Amino acid sequence: GENVEQHPSTLSVQEGDSAVIKCTYSDSASNYFPWYKQELGKRPQLIIDIRSNVGEKKDQRIAVTLNKTAKHFSLHITETQPEDSAVYFCAASYPGGGADGLTFGKGTHLIIQP
Amino acid sequence: DAGITQSPRHKVTETGTPVTLRCHQTENHRYMYWYRQDPGHGLRLIHYSYGVKDTDKGEVSDGYSVSRSKTEDFLLTLESATSSQTSVYFCAISGGQYSNQPQHFGDGTRLSIL
């Protein structure tokens, strides 16, 4: 099955700086890569996703890049703000797999220092 | 927010008792999923459904069963709860004809097995 590794587990950045979270996946058949943001006690919320036919996708201050050859993808947050503080999860899935759900990384706790 | 309601939101019960969690959606989506979230493990897929009466196992299905008798409802049952099943349980849904589409999560059920 798929295995997703996520780094770092904790990331502390100054407000206004950029943050980068990286994930690697194991199954080359994976073709869908979402990112979720989860605030304490809340549900995971989809913030951006990318498919394997695209190398980069942006939405305002957030962007995701995908390197299929290296089997890794990254979340980039620019001009970080206090409300960006949360746990971020990457995930991967592939169609027709034994379980068509998402395989998640273990999460990155992003702390924005004022 | 996606129309997903999980019930109950919190439950405390004793080892050996049966427990049923409910996920109700108003989106008429085909795919529904149950995940559990534990510290250090991220989210892990328990079971999923790709239609009425069509279900399959995920990564951590032992000790759990599911049923889907209507499009809108997906039930997760712990036949005989154990302390290792103490967790936060999230339901997710995704639309479209095929799987591998964006998933949206409910607010979760916090389950404690004493």
| Six token digits for residue B104 | 């949206």
Q: Please indicate if any CB of chain B lies within 8 Å of the CB of A46.
A: yes
Maximum alpha-carbon separation in chain A: 45
- Per the document, the length of chain B is 114
Q: From the CA atom positions of chain B, what is the Rg in Å?
A: 13
Contacts of A49 in chain B (CB under 8 A): 102
Confidence of residue A98 (pLDDT cuts 50, 70, 90): very low
Torsion angle in degrees (nearest 10) through CA of B54, B57, B61, B67: 0
Q: pLDDT tens, A14-67?
A: 999 999 999 999 988 888 999 999 999 999 999 999 998 889 999 999 999 999
Structure confidence at residue A111 (pLDDT): 98
* Per-residue pLDDT tens over the stretch B74-87: 999 999 999 999 99
Average pLDDT, chain B: 93
List CB contacts (< 8 A) between A93 and chain B. Answer: 99-100
Chain B partners within 8 Å of A108 (Cβ): none
A41-77 burial, b at 16+ Cβ within 10 Å, e below that, comes to: eebbebbbbbebeeeeeeeeebbbbbeeeebbbbbbb
Q: What percent of chain B has pLDDT over 90?
A: 81
pLDDT over threshold 70, residue B98: no
Nearest to A104 among B42, B57, B107 (CB): B42
> With 80 as the cut, is the pLDDT of residue A100 above it?
no
Q: According to the model, what pLDDT value does residue A93 have? A: 86
Interface test with A, best of B103, B104, B110 (most A CBs within 10 A): B103
**Selection from B47, B62, B42 nearest residue A3 by Cα:** B42
> pLDDT tens digits, residue range B39-78?
888 899 999 998 899 999 988 999 999 999 999 999 999 9
Contact flag B100-A32 (C-beta cutoff 8 Å): yes
Q: Kindly give, in sequence order, each residue whose CB lies less than 8 Å from that of residue B39, ignoring residues fewer than 6 positions away.
A: none
Confidence of residue B99 (pLDDT cuts 50, 70, 90): low
Task: Kindly state the average pLDDT of the residues B11-32.
Answer: 95
Q: Please list every residue in chain A whose beta carbon sits closer than 8 Å to the beta carbon of residue B44.
A: 104
Contact between chains at B105 and A89 (C-beta distance less than 8 A): no
Is B103 close to A34, i.e. CB distance below 8 A? yes
